[in-house]
Homo-oligomer: A and B are copies of this chain.
Amino acid sequence: MDTKRQRMNSPDRELAIAVRASKAPAISRAAAVLRLLGKSDTPLGVQTIARELGLVPSTCLHVLRALVAEEFVSFDPDTKRYSLEAGVLTLARHWLRRNRFNDLAQPALDRISRTFDLTVLGVHIVGLDHIIVVATSQSSQNFQLSTQIGSRFPALISATGRCIAAFGDQDENDLEGRFKKLRWDEPPTFEEWKAQVRQTREQGFAVDAGNYIAGVTVVAAPVFRARGKLSHALVALGIGSALKRAGLPTLQNALLASAQSLSNQLSGEIDSE
């Protein structure tokens, strides 16, 4: 029992607890395998995967074979290597089809992106762990700030994080624990951050002025799926200096207006209030 944890690397720590907690550990393992294969630039062998995730090779093989059978993983019989298979695309397509936010948000993203020449994102807030980019409108200029649909970030980071803290419903202890784990270029103290969260709650949107990525200003406005149910956010990114020239207040208003309009459309009605 001691020799086993000789070199526990981070992904497999989390996996270990997920496996222990769940009543369907095979699924956690499968998810871990899929994510590992996703990250890897090259196809991987059984041993490599097992070692990386802290799995027993034979178990790992079972998992891989099941994933191959389900067409989520491809297997090259010559090299005996595994990689992601196109089956994952099919799921993604279904998800995209069914989510009104994407279609509704795209025009707004495009308009703001064009007007201010910024990269603008629509992000989906999943659980309280992560956000996922679900729609983008890239500015022609800022290629360096490009992000892809499907990218995943920690929930509490940057401007979006302040929105989640401000408008989501979680207790402060949990919040502080998560906050401690974040990686910023210029980390704010927890006190500073709480103040910014408070301000976010008052003004209705959040700003990250170079904390997450040095030199980059991020503005985020919350979108609610139903009364008070935070589900998405609109996020604009730009080089700090350029953003000031473009007129930060104007951008904030535009983002906020679009976000509120989306909230109305998502919660179903043309409703008043």
Chain A residues within CB distance 8 Å of chain B: 18, 21-28, 30-31, 34-35, 37-39, 41, 62-63, 65-67, 69-72, 74, 83-99, 124, 126-127, 129-130, 132, 134, 148-152
Contact = CB atoms under 8 A, between A and B. Distances in A.
Copy tally for this chain in the complex stands at 2
Main secondary structure of the interface of A (DSSP, over half): helix
Contact of A95 (B27, B70, B89, B129): B89
A84 B70 contact: no
A28 B89 CA distance: 17
B91 A95 contact: no
A111 to B, nearest CB: 23
Contacts of A93: 92, 148-151
A190 to B, nearest CB: 26
Contacts of A39: 94
Q: Which of A67, A84, A90, A124 counts the most chain B CB atoms within 10 A?
A: A90
A146 to B, nearest CB: 12
Given A95-B86, A96-B89, A132-B90, A27 B148 contact: no
